[in-house]
Amino acid sequence: MLSNYCKVAATNHGQYCIFTVIKLNSFYNCYKMLYKRQKLYGLLTISALLTITSCVKDPDIGAPIMSCGTPYSIVLPAQTPPMPIPEDNPMTVEGIELGRHLFYEKMLSGDNTLACAGCHLQSEAFADKNKFSIGIDGFIGSRGAMPIANAAWADKYFWDGKANSLEEVVLFPIQSEVEMHESVFKAIKKLQSTEQYPTMFYHAFCDSTITVENMAKAMAQFMRSITSYNYRSLPNLGKDLRNSVQQRGLQVFQDETKGDCFHCHTLTTFTTNFDFFNNGLNEDPSLNPGLAGQTGDPQDVGKFKTPSLLNLRHTAPYMHDGRFQTLREVVDFYDTGFHVSPTLSLDLLKHTKDGKPVARAWTEQDKRDLIAFLITLNDDSLINNPKWSDPNE
Ligand code: HEC
Ligand code: HEC
């Protein structure tokens, strides 16, 4: 029975227990976060995390089980860098499927009405249409939901980089008062009391006792599996652009005297380098310090995560605070609307003079062409792929 779900270790040295390897940094961050919010829960989590999580003996072979579930191999386009996958959370078919159910599970919220998917809608490229997301108590947050595709390749998450792994990400929205407002311990209790989840956790992790750690791992696996590409970016750059307007738009995007967008929104498969920059949204960035709020480094004041430009048709309104409704507003902002401050990115600083943006050498037509190019960067397979859809429908 067990061997159906559990991959047996290559070694045959008899029976022993496997301890989950907890990366010290993610452990510390998780602790830090929980400790800040709920001191008692923080301590409980530490002891839960330190518990041996899998100690399973295969009844048929007698060999130790190194990992559970059927290994999942992800197929990526040739030019895509290998997906970084944490050693202690390999992707499995069962883990991803469990993660998918959890992602669409309303029980993870305080009043059982809001799932992750309530703000990260597949039909909207896993973002939502709201300027600010609305949580279960009707509280409106101060940031827009981020699209989730290709998150596997980033090493910092959220607009201000406050989480260091997708495993860690999961704990924020569940516990956030303005989002799902539920204690993770109550959430796993609810899951444990269902018929379906203990079995699904067993299939994924060889353990039907649900832990916060395994819940986070399953959801992280599901999110890693969500990938999105557009072949109009490198290395097929522009090859299938349908008309000369879009072709010219691509040139404007690349031209350092015109759009000059490509340093941050790199035209690789992801159209972002996942890095953090101050792109001049605020006159006084210290009021909304972004990455600096996490690192404490004055150089990071006003820096936010560079979003992908894939699926812009779905991710409006734009920027972390959803301040722009249209791409036209975004382009005008990069032309003469941005603010100069000490941490402004050098790629924007070079388009300024005497502390003010200087109009670039682009024409009205260039701007229109640029927008025509940007809206070609769509990937409908992300929106339509049934493997990321609601499993209950
Ligand atoms: C109430 C709406 C809401 C719900 C529910 C919600 N999110 Fe989010 N999500 C957001 C917002 C808003 C952000 C950006 C927050 C920030 O940067 O502070 C975000 C950011 C993220 C990111 C970061 C992406 C990146 O590229 O850095 C991930 C991953 C994510 N959410 C996953 C989840 C998961 C998993 C759940 C369920 C456990 C969830 N979200 C539930 C609104 C929501
Ligand atoms: C210095 C790096 C940098 C340059 C250059 C740059 N961007 Fe950005 N871009 C960012 C960052 C960082 C954000 C997110 C800022 C935030 O919300 O706080 C962003 C956000 C955006 C968004 C919003 C996406 C969304 O889903 O919310 C669009 C669209 C965009 N940029 C287009 C462009 C275009 C077009 C150009 C060239 C004219 C350009 N960017 C140049 C760094 C850059």
Among 100, 104, 119, name the best residue to mutate to test ligand 1's pocket (greatest count of ligand atoms within 8 A of Cβ): 119
The pLDDT of residue 50 is 39
| Rounded distance from Cα 173 to ligand 1 centre (Å) | 6
Classify burial at 1, counting beta carbons within 10 Å of its beta carbon; exposed 0-12, middle 13-18, buried 19 or more: exposed
Q: How far apart are CA 331 and CA 363, in angstroms?
A: 12
Ligand 2, atom nearest to 259 Cα: 38
Pocket of ligand 1 (CB under 6 A): 108, 114, 116, 118-120, 133, 135, 141, 143-146, 148, 151, 154, 157-160, 166, 169-170, 173-174, 179-180, 219, 223, 305
The pLDDT of residue 278 is 98
Nearest Cα to 96, choosing from 200, 211, 8, 228?
200
**Which conformational region is residue 112 in: left (phi greater than 0), alpha (psi within -120 to 50 degrees), or beta?**
left
Nearest Cα to 126, choosing from 169, 91, 93, 95?
169
The pLDDT of residue 8 is 28
Residue 217 near residue 91, CB atoms below 8 Å: no
pLDDT along the chain (393 residues), means of 10: 29 26 36 43 42 37 61 87 95 98 97 96 92 86 90 96 97 94 96 98 97 98 93 64 82 95 89 94 95 96 96 94 96 97 97 95 96 90 95 94
Q: How far apart are CA 67 and CA 5, in angstroms?
A: 9
Q: How far apart are CA 40 and CA 184, in angstroms?
A: 13
| Rounded distance from Cα 278 to ligand 2 centre (Å) | 9
Q: How far apart are CA 1 and CA 278, in angstroms?
A: 54
Q: Which protein residue's CA is at the shortest distance from atom 41 of ligand 2?
A: 261
Q: Which residues contact 46 (CB under 8 A, 6 or more apart)?
A: 31
| Rounded distance from Cα 293 to ligand 1 centre (Å) | 18
State in Å, rounded, how far the first CA of the chain is from the last one.
30
Q: How far apart are CA 249 and CA 369, in angstroms?
A: 4
Q: How far apart are CA 208 and CA 67, in angstroms?
A: 15
Q: What are phi and psi of 18, to 5 degrees?
A: -105, 125
**Which conformational region is residue 238 in: left (phi greater than 0), alpha (psi within -120 to 50 degrees), or beta?**
left
The pLDDT of residue 159 is 96
The pLDDT of residue 271 is 86
Residue 119 near residue 133, CB atoms below 8 Å: yes
Residue 218 near residue 99, CB atoms below 8 Å: yes
Q: What are phi and psi of 181, to 5 degrees?
A: 45, 55
Pocket of ligand 2 (CB under 6 A): 259-261, 263-265, 277, 279, 281, 304, 306-307, 309, 312, 315, 318-320, 330-331, 334, 345, 347-348
